């Protein structure tokens, strides 16, 4: 069923089961405590009246009227054996009347009041109150077939009177040492009604608490899972192509709210990446279109009419230059793609980075002489681990840019030093500089500054490749520039210790 596949319903059902078990346990415990309290109060009254009757039976019989003038029948003289105390052979009189001092414990006119019955050894009733219920047998419920069980206890210590139910009556039964038995009971209908009301009240309160708890639990679960619904809705819209969608976290600080914030950040990066990818594809197509157009134009012009060998040679050379530019662009694009996918294999070796920088400076000297730019290098010997060819490509690219976008007669300063466990390479020029608006985008792909790089023949991928190479070596690269003053590129790489 779908209901059991829903996280919200699973939580609600589990929460409801726990609440039902807790409420049932609490209600049962409360009911048993109230029942024990009521029955305990009745049992205390029963035991109190048993003691009253037992004390009255053990008292020596009076020689005259007792309170209400009712005489006791005394046993005939000489009935007690000489070898036993007289009180152990004392039997209840054949006619027994409750003394006046104890009459208030038993109200014969109240059918729901306390009643008593005194039984002989053979189970016959000697006397009893008139309000006791009608029964077929009394002793069978209590004696258990052993009327002398009390004499088997250590020290003849009598146990607490037995308490039992007879229909809706609560009764206690106590054998006496002489063999007679006392039965005292009362109706518990009022208490049973009170317990019934207690059970109904507990059920009603428990049901109300269960309803409120389930309603509150549903509200809490729905509110807690709302970010998941927002995530699903946003994901559906994003999958439809709307990358601008975001999850409305509503200021929540729960784990799901934190997840929603992380996903929003992921969606933002995803949107940026797709936008960059679109722009990258458009720029790549634009850059590739130029050399292709040159090749098509040159070949079409050459095929329109017969030309001299020199004209054909010039056409072929123009096509070659366009093809070389296209090859260079394709190689750069492939290199960036491999770095993005983590598939670029670096030949990591331990080498002297100052030697690599020095070779790169020597390599660009002809270009610097052509542009009338002076290159000054201050290098410290530093050992790093990495791909020497790729790092040489970074240094050469930075030096070429510093020369190309410098003023005639300008200066390029190259410095390599150690700072806090890093090899820090700086390439600074005093050329045109880069505007503050363009500076954050200098490492972007196909980026060209309109002012500082106007007329440049490159595709704008050099700095992007430099950044990818440096980051693949665990380093960083950054640019600082001031328009009209110059630009400084700083590369930081880990040093081998």
The pLDDT value given to residue 269: 82
Q: Is residue 236 pLDDT above 70, yes or no? A: yes
pLDDT in tens, 7-48: 778 888 888 899 999 999 999 999 999 989 998 898 898 888
Q: What is the CA radius of gyration of the chain?
A: 54
Question: Dihedral, CA atoms, 46, 47, 52, 58, nearest 10 degrees?
Answer: 130
464 burial via Cβ count (<10 Å: 0-12, 13-18, 19+):
buried
What gap in Å lies between CA 156 and CA 177, rounded to an integer? 9
71 burial via Cβ count (<10 Å: 0-12, 13-18, 19+):
middle
The pLDDT value given to residue 137: 52
Region 349-357: mean pLDDT is 91
Q: Is residue 90 pLDDT above 70, yes or no? A: no
Q: Distance between the two ends of the chain, CA-based, in angstroms?
A: 64
246 pLDDT tier (thresholds 50, 70, 90): confident
Q: Is residue 415 pLDDT above 90, yes or no? A: yes
49 burial via Cβ count (<10 Å: 0-12, 13-18, 19+):
buried
Q: Apex CA 124: angle with CA 123 and CA 128, to 5°? A: 115
Q: Is residue 144 pLDDT above 90, yes or no? A: no
CB atoms near residue 387 (< 10 Å): 18
Which domains are assigned to the chain?
A: 2-193 (no CATH), 255-340 (1.10.287.130), 349-494 (3.30.565.10)
What gap in Å lies between CA 95 and CA 91, rounded to an integer? 11
299 pLDDT tier (thresholds 50, 70, 90): confident
The pLDDT value given to residue 25: 92
Question: Dihedral, CA atoms, 209, 215, 221, 223, nearest 10 degrees?
Answer: -130
Block residue for tokens 């052509």: 370
What gap in Å lies between CA 105 and CA 124, rounded to an integer? 23
CB of 72 closer than 8 Å to CB of 61: yes
- Across-strand partners of 116? 184
DSSP state of 324: H
Tokens of residue 288, six digits: 């590739």
């Amino acid at each position: 069923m779908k209901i059991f596949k829903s996280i919200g319903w699973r939580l609600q059902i589990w929460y409801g089961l726990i609440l039902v078990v807790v409420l049932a346990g609490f209600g049962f415990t409360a009911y048993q405590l109230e029942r024990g309290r009521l029955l305990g109060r009745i049992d205390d009254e029963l035991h109190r009246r048993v003691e009253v009757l037992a004390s009255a039976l053990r008292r020596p019989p009076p020689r005259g009227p007792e309170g209400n003038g009712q005489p006791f029948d005394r046993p005939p003289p000489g009935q007690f054996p000489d070898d036993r105390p007289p009180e152990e052979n004392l039997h209840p009189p054949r006619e027994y009347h409750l003394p006046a001092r104890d009459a208030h414990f038993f109200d014969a006119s109240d059918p729901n009041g306390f009643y008593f019955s005194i039984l002989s050894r053979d189970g016959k009733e000697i006397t009893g109150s008139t309000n006791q219920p009608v029964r077929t047998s009394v002793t069978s419920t209590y004696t258990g077939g052993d009327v002398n069980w009390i004499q088997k206890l250590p020290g003849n210590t009598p146990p607490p009177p037995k308490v039992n139910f007879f229909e809706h009556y609560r009764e206690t039964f106590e054998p006496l040492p002489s063999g007679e038995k006392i039965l005292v009971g009362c109706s518990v209908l009022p208490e049973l009604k009170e317990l019934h009301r207690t059970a109904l009240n507990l059920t009603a309160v428990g049901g109300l608490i269960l309803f409120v708890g389930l309603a509150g639990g549903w509200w809490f679960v729905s509110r807690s899972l709302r970010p998941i619904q927002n995530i699903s809705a946003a994901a559906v819209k994003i999958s439809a192509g709307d990358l601008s969608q975001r999850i409305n976290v509503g200021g929540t600080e729960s784990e799901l709210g934190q997840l929603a914030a992380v996903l929003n950040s992921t969606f933002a990066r995803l949107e940026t990446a797709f936008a960059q990818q679109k722009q990258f594809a458009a720029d790549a197509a634009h850059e590739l279109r130029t050399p292709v157009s040159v090749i098509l134009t040159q070949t079409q012009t050459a095929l329109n009419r017969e030309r001299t060998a020199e004209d054909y040679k010039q056409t072929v050379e123009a096509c070659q230059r366009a093809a070389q530019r296209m090859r260079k662009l394709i190689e750069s694009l492939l290199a960036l793609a491999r770095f993005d996918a983590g598939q670029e294999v670096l030949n990591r070796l331990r080498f002297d980075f100052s030697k690599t920088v020095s070779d790169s400076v020597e390599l660009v000297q002809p270009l610097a002489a052509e542009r009338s730019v002076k290159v000054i290098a201050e290098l410290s010997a530093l050992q790093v681990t990495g791909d020497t060819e790729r790092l040489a490509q970074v240094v050469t690219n930075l030096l070429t840019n510093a020369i190309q976008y410098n003023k005639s007669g300008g200066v390029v300063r190259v410095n390599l030093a150690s700072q806090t466990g890093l090899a820090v390479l700086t390439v600074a020029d005093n050329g045109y500089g880069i505007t503050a608006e363009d500076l954050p985008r200098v490492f972007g792909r196909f980026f060209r500054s309109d002012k500082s790089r106007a007329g440049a023949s490159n595709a704008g991928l050099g700095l992007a490749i430099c950044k990818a190479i440096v980051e693949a070596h665990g380093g960083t690269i950054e640019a600082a520039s001031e328009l009209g003053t110059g630009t400084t590129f700083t590369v930081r790489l880990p040093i081998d210790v």
